[in-house]
Amino acid sequence: MMTAPLPEFDLERYLPYRFTVIAGKLSAELAKAYKVRFGISMPEWRVLVNVGYTEDLSVRDIERRVSLEKSKVSRAVSKLEAKGYLVKQTDSDDRRLLKLTLTDEGTRLLRALIPIAQTLQDELIAKLADAAPAMNAALDILMEPEE
């Protein structure tokens, strides 16, 4: 007995799949460069950027801003602290919170990392050419939180 035919479906054009593949490719390039040359993982990089540009962030703040699970943030922060790139202080107003601050060494590291990220971004934009603005508009829509 034959089973009924499958409905049409093209994985190659399927959006969640496409995003996963592209995200993997894009992050892999950066991840490799950072890991090899600086021993830094993607979660650590994201934490660094956040702490670098905003003062006295907490783990929870970062979790919210960067869609990074708090356990991931916590571990990334601990590693960065162990490497001397940032400092944890407990907030005196609310002692559940941490105040995270880059050390000078952390700032130096971040200043080395950013041009690499920026170059990759520039290459992508160049590759996309005309399509870039429309794509960014689309990404804006997809980034906004569920209703």
Partner DNA sequence: CGACAATCGTTGCAAATGCAACAATTTAAT
Partner DNA sequence: ATTAAATTGTTGCATTTGCAACGATTGTCG
In order of 51, 55, 93, 123, the CA distances from 109 in angstroms are: 12, 17, 30, 22
In which element (H, E) is residue 86 found? strand 86-90
Using CB under 7 A, pick the residue from 60, 89, 121, 123 that binds DNA. 60
The residue behind tokens 């021993």 is 39
Site for DNA contains 58 (CB under 7 A): yes
Rounded to an integer, what distance in angstroms lies between the CA atom of residue 4 and that of residue 128?
Answer: 42
Which range touches DNA (CB under 7 A), out of 6-14, 63-71, 106-114, 118-126? Answer: 63-71
**Shortest distance (Å) from residue 22 CB to DNA:** 14
Site for DNA contains 94 (CB under 7 A): yes
Using CB under 8 A, pick the residue from 90, 91, 108, 119 that binds a copy of itself. 108
b/e 128-138 (16+ beta carbons within 10 angstroms → b): eeeeeeeeeee
The residue behind tokens 């690499």 is 116
**Shortest distance (Å) from residue 99 CB to a copy of itself:** 18
User: Please, which residues have CB within 8 angstroms of residue 2's CB and are 6 or more apart in sequence?
Assistant: none
> Interface with a copy of itself by CB under 8 A: which residues?
3-4, 6-7, 9, 11, 13-27, 29-30, 42, 46, 49-50, 52-53, 66-67, 104, 107-108, 110-111, 114-115, 117-118, 120-121, 124-125, 127-128, 131-132, 134-139, 141-143
